[in-house]
Amino acid sequence: MKHALIKRAAEDILRVSHVTALTGAGMSAESGIPTFRDKGGFWERYDPEEYAHINTFYTAPEKPWQMFKAFEMQVKARPNAGHLALAEMERLGWLQEIIAQNVDDLHQEAGNSAVIEFHGNFRRAVCLSCGAYYEIKNISLDILPPRCRCSGVLKPDAVFFGEPIPQKAFMQAVEATRSCKVMLVVGTSAIVYPAADMPAIARQAGARVIEINPEPTSLTGWVSDYIILGKAGEILPALVEELKKMAL
Ligand code: NAD
Ligand code: ZN
């Protein structure tokens, strides 16, 4: 059953010239970074509604940075087999871009060059007063919150709850979504908007929407054409093998 669906996905991909992937927290689960839905641990200690809300920067800016430091320890993580498979798909011309909800930079580390950072990137920080950018690895996190040369509070350059999507990334994502012919939706529960709108927009524009996730999501049986039940690190490499078998 699973193999038949992987074969079907490979056929769908080889039939078209524009494939987009929309990825979420599940993509990095096998790299050791917990998803929001993982019970126990990280997000119970750091309630995202508080620690990842923009207002907290104005009331207790050290808190989101405490969360960031804990996340950073996880982000010593390396790309997993799923990330590497998507990088290979891009290299071989079977994937045109990734709309990444994750902020962990692992797609870029795996070698993908066309990555739309829908929710920003935890590798950079931005000054809330003057807008200057910093590479986080170059700033000290000994005293929180870290501050800009202008003394403004720095914020990781990711989209926090209560913040809009960066305009350029949003436009690029909508453009990719409207023009792709196949959308692979990997490791996202599709409950965080507006990213969760992209599969329905793709579908409306005529694309085939294929989910890869160990569990059904709010898209399953409604927006997506079919779901391949399984982990990203297992299904994506198998998909690449199938693509190679069929194409070469
Ligand atoms: P979510 O936590 O709501 O959902 C995760 C989804 O991944 C679930 O549907 C789950 O079934 C699936 N999943 C779990 N393990 C998987 C695996 N091995 N392979 C494939 N799928 C797997 O995450 P979301 O929908 O991405 O929304 C949460 C938001 O928080 C997003 O913006 C996300 O980027 C962000 N976030 C980012 C990180 C990160 O940067 N790594 C980590 C946690 C949350
Ligand atoms: Zn500044």
* 37 located within any domain: no
Residue 15 structural domain: 1-32+78-119+165-248
Please give the tally of structural domains in the chain: 1
* 54 located within any domain: no
Indicate which atom in ligand 1 lies nearest the CA of residue 24: 26
Angstrom distance (rounded) from CA 197 to CA 74: 28
Triad 242, 243, 244: Cα angle to 5°: 90
- The CATH number given to whatever domain includes residue 17 is 3.40.50.1220
* 48 located within any domain: no
* 177 located within any domain: yes
* 67 located within any domain: no
Query: Which of 23, 28, 33, 36 to mutate to test ligand 1, by most ligand atoms within 8 A of the CB atom?
Result: 36
Indicate which atom in ligand 1 lies nearest the CA of residue 37: 2
Per-residue confidence of the chain (248 residues) as pLDDT tens digits? 799 999 999 999 999 999 999 999 999 999 988 887 776 667 788 888 899 999 999 999 999 999 888 876 665 789 999 999 999 999 999 999 999 999 999 999 999 999 999 999 988 999 999 999 999 989 999 999 999 999 999 999 999 999 999 999 999 999 999 999 999 999 999 988 899 999 999 999 999 999 999 999 999 999 999 999 999 999 999 999 999 999 97
* 50 located within any domain: no
Ligand 1 shell residues, CB under 6 Å: 24-26, 28-30, 33, 35-37, 101-104, 119, 186-189, 191-192, 213-215, 217, 231-232
**What order of strands is seen across the sheet that includes strand 154-158?**
133-135, 120-127, 154-158
* 128 located within any domain: no
Triad 190, 52, 125: Cα angle to 5°: 110
